[in-house]
Amino acid sequence: MSGGFAVAEGRGQEFFLAVLNKNLDRLIYVCHMPSMTRGPDKQFDPDAVLEKAMQVFWAKGYAATGLAELQARMGIGRKSLYDTFGNKRQLFIKALQLYSDSVVGQISAELDKKGSPLGNVRRLMRSLEEDHSLPESMGCLLGVSMAQCPSDDGEMAGILRHHIQRVEEAFYRAFKRARDIGELNRSTNTRDLARLFMGIAQGLALVGRVQDAPSVPRSIVNAALATLKSA
């Protein structure tokens, strides 16, 4: 026996059986294997189930969340979980991306609205204030994860950095437009300002996770918006 083989799999699809040499660098034979039958469909919606997983990670953090709890809240068996999402880490990363896309989408939608860009910023910040004033506020999943990301995990850190950057960019577009139309001073450094507001939003979410009274989030947003009046 001097060969190996590899298959390209797929759900309900045809696939190939490939025979390789023993160094795995030469294709010796390829056999097309059309799939004749198929099994039943999944009994759950992967997106809906991922959303549930996201909430558990959000509330408890990555390390403190066990497979048993994930299974229970997602309402699926363990085999299904691993077949669909790979493993706990990959499930977490998919949850991070789901959350990031959703949050960045909402923030961008608000900030990119027509009309006064500073008005959009004010509306967004008041909305964030409201969210993080609720007693059940859990902060921001990405922020929570930044706090837990092991320093040697480059992939995860990359996702978190990317999220930060997208939020910064959304603020930047708004502030740039505000400067262009005269809502901000010509001398304002819009890049710095965008990063500041991104940082404030993260701090707000973090504080809101612990704070019970709404006065602190309220103050933070008050003061943050006050700085725009004279910028």
Cβ closer to DNA: 25 or 41?
41
- Check binding of 150 to a second copy (CB under 8 A): yes
b/e map of 191-211 (b: 16 or more CB within 10 Å)?
A: eebbbbbbebbbebbbebeeb
**Sheet of strand 15-21, all strands in order from the earlier edge strand to the far edge:** 3-8, 15-21, 27-33
Structure tokens at 114: 């027509």
Nearest CA among 8, 3, 1, 33 for reference residue 19: 3
Q: What is the 3-state secondary structure (H, E, C) of 141-173?
A: HHHHHHCCCCCCCHHHHHHHHHHHHHHHHHHHH
Candidates 11, 32, 114, 186: give the one binding DNA (CB under 7 A): 11
Phi, psi at residue 32, to the nearest 5°? -80, 125
CB of 49 to DNA, least distance (A): 9
CB of 66 to DNA, least distance (A): 3
Stretch that binds a second copy, among 19-27, 33-41, 48-56, 153-161 (CB under 8 A): 153-161
- Check binding of 56 to a second copy (CB under 8 A): no
Stretch that binds DNA, among 18-26, 87-95, 117-125, 174-182 (CB under 7 A): 87-95
Candidates 65, 137, 190, 202: give the one binding DNA (CB under 7 A): 65
Which DSSP symbol is given to 3?
Answer: E
Q: How many chain residues bind a second copy (CB under 8 A)?
A: 52
Phi, psi at residue 20, to the nearest 5°? -115, 165
* Identity of residue 74: M
CB of 230 to a second copy, least distance (A): 4
- Check binding of 18 to a second copy (CB under 8 A): no
- Check binding of 43 to DNA (CB under 7 A): yes
CB of 12 to DNA, least distance (A): 5
Chain residues in the site for a second copy (CB under 8 A): 59-64, 136, 138-139, 143-151, 157, 160-161, 164, 168, 189, 191-193, 195-196, 198-204, 206-207, 209-212, 216, 219-220, 222-224, 226-227, 230-231
